[in-house]
């Protein structure tokens, strides 16, 4: 059991005296609504049953000691509450350090340090939000260890603040919100402009959600993520000279077509088109799911990928290969890239009887074309963060 292994690793490294607490926060997959969260649109993510496990013990001094079972070669990385600055060489520890810093910025200063061991069974740099999972599990730890009065929605906002201000990634709210607010068997229909949300049950009778990991690594900070966001912000400012809106997500497809010539650059026009049309696809997809029309939901997933490929240009040969090979298989209801893109994963809805052929055939075609293997995960939808022991 993972929980037991994480605790044992903690005791081997840091001893077994004192109270050791164990926590879990999930990863997430976004079913539809990509690159809409920073454009004032809707998203439809769900938390997964894979995620980040953490064992922690409070210290009496201000030292911080971090260890990741996923990066064993790095060993124990030491810091302190007096060294909460972003450092490239600190690697993954910038995420928990960023959360400690962000809590402090919000008036909740940790009074003492702690020892922390993490293990994640989310594929690293896969687009399933391993970094946001680390942020939220750290936030939940801080809340529990020091008695900070924060809700799970607060944790999401602090996590986004940390990633924006400490780690320098200009992400939207979706990843942290989906992880902090997850509910078993449900996706979250979230309006990122207002943070109004509702839970929608995911009922896929006779079908499964399959994650296909391209194994092409990518980092959000050094990808073109921030560039895409900047392009959308410029397009928005141009549109605002022609129509009264506060975000691209305010526009319908018809309104976009009416005012799109206000955007003076062809590339920016394509970026804005994706943001507008993807938002409307997400609204339609949730309506289809409520009507138990999984076939329509799948069609909208497919259209989402085409838009991400052609208008937003964030897919690449790896993700395109996974999706295009998936579309060839009978029993695939829908398939699309998920996450920021530039590598990472696809999400597919696959009929039960097609899951094994899907993994075999897509896997073989991918390895033949790309030169290395993809990994496949049949996943379930889980709850948000929790203290396990």
Tell me the per-residue pLDDT of 282-328, one tens digit each, with 9 for 90 and over. 999 999 999 999 999 999 999 999 999 999 999 999 999 999 999 99
Tell me the per-residue pLDDT of 187-224, one tens digit each, with 9 for 90 and over. 999 999 999 999 999 989 899 999 999 998 665 545 68
Tell me the per-residue pLDDT of 60-110, one tens digit each, with 9 for 90 and over. 999 999 999 999 999 999 999 999 999 999 999 999 999 999 999 999 999
DSSP 308-320: HHHTS---HHHHH
Does residue 353 contact residue 331 with C-beta atoms inside 8 Å? Answer: yes
Domains and CATH numbers, the chain: 2-202+383-387 (3.30.230.10)
* 3-class DSSP assignment, residue 11: helix
Q: Which of 175, 266, 310, 311 is catalytic?
A: 175
175 part of the active site: yes
Query: Which whole-number Å values give the CA distances from 346 to 1, 105, 323, 359, in the listed order?
Result: 28, 36, 7, 13
pTM (two decimals): 0.92
Q: How far apart are CA 125 and CA 92, in angstroms?
A: 11
């Amino acid at each position: 059991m993972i929980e037991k292994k994480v605790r044992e690793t903690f005791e081997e490294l840091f001893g077994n005296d004192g109270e050791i607490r164990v926590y879990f926060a999930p990863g997430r997959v976004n079913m539809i609504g990509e690159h809409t969260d920073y454009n004032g649109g809707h998203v439809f993510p769900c938390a997964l049953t894979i995620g980040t496990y953490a064992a922690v013990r409070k210290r009496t001094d201000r030292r911080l000691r971090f260890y990741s079972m996923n990066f064993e070669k790095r060993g124990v990385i030491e810091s302190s509450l007096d060294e909460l600055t972003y450092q490239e060489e600190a690697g993954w520890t910038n995420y928990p350090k960023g959360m400690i810093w962000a809590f402090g910025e919000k008036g909740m200063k940790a009074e003492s340090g702690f020892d922390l061991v993490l293990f994640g069974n989310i594929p690293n740099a896969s687009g399933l939000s391993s970094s946001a999972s680390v942020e939220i599990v750290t936030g939940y730890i801080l809340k529990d260890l020091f008695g900070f009065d924060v809700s799970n929605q607060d944790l999401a906002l602090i996590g986004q603040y940390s990633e924006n201000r400490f780690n320098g990634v200009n992400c939207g709210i979706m990843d942290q919100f989906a992880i902090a607010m997850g509910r078993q068997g449900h996706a979250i229909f979230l309006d990122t402009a207002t943070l109004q949300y509702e839970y929608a049950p995911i009922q896929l009778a006779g079908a499964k959600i399959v994650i296909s990991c391209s194994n092409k690594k990518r980092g959000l900070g050094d990808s073109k993520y921030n560039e895409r966001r900047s392009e959308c912000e410029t397009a928005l400012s141009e549109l605002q000279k022609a129509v009264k809106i506060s975000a691209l997500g305010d526009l319908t497809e018809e309104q976009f077509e009416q005012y799109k010539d206000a955007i003076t650059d062809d590339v920016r026009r394509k970026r804005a088109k994706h943001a507008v049309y993807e938002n409307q696809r997400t609204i339609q997809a949730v309506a289809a799911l409520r009507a138990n029309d999984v076939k329509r939901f799948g069609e909208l997933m497919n259209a989402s990928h085409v838009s991400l490929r052609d208008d937003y240009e964030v897919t690449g040969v790896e993700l395109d290969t996974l999706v295009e090979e998936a579309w060839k298989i009978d029993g695939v209801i829908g398939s699309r890239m998920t996450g920021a893109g530039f590598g990472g994963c696809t999400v597919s809805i696959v009929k039960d009887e097609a899951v094994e052929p899907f993994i075999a055939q897509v896997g073989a075609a991918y390895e033949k074309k790309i030169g290395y293997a993809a990994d496949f995960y049949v996943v379930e939808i889980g709850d948000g963060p929790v203290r396990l022991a």
